[in-house]
Amino acid sequence: MPRTKTVKDYIRTIVDFPHEGILFRDVTTLFADPRGFRMAIDQLLHPYAGQPIDKVVGLEARGFILGGAIAHQLSVGFVPIRKKGKLPGAVISEEYQLEYGEAVVEIHDDAIVPGETILLVDDLLATGGTAEAGIKLIERLGGNILSCAFVVDLPELGGRKRIEAMGMDVHTLCEFEGL
């Protein structure tokens, strides 16, 4: 009897992208497969069944795909956190460190009502820098983060520990070793 496929089976690895020595975990193959995509959304949602969530916040860019689908399933609003300069209107910003420099993410300053319960979503948890910046933005607007959900965890890069050290619950569907 063949083994049942897992979310991890739908994710391909691309060697030396975007730099030599990197094993890029490409979730576009997961998104392209209807069974794989449905499985990922269902498994990301499962721990939160019956819990009150007011909004799903997705981190640019693949977090938009996952977050939009999850928000639809929960019948709640979706809020994007984008790279600097991509959102119209009034925003708040948060700088964070990348492997080779700094980046800035932004959220509309009226996207979250103080006291709302938020689920933060992205495709991959590596160093945790983007997720940490997103958490800080949500908290600055008064949102209460129920959990941070990711498809892939790269444990060697320490992102889970970093986010959990902030007092956050972290839910991931699979892990990959290496960078």
Q: Does domain 50-175 match CATH 3.40.50.2020?
A: yes
- Annotated active-site residue 175? The verdict is no
pTM for the structure as a whole: 0.95
- Annotated active-site residue 99? The verdict is yes
9 vs 83: CA distance, rounded Å: 30
Per-residue confidence (pLDDT) for residue 179, from 0 to 100: 64
Does the CA dihedral 179-153-119-170 come out positive or negative?
Answer: negative
* Neighbouring-strand partners of residue 124: 152
Query: What would the pLDDT profile of 19-72 be if each residue is shown by its tens digit?
Result: 898 899 999 999 999 999 999 999 999 999 999 999 999 999 999 999 999 999
Catalytic residue (one of 25, 62, 82, 160): 62
Catalytic residue (one of 12, 38, 95, 99): 99
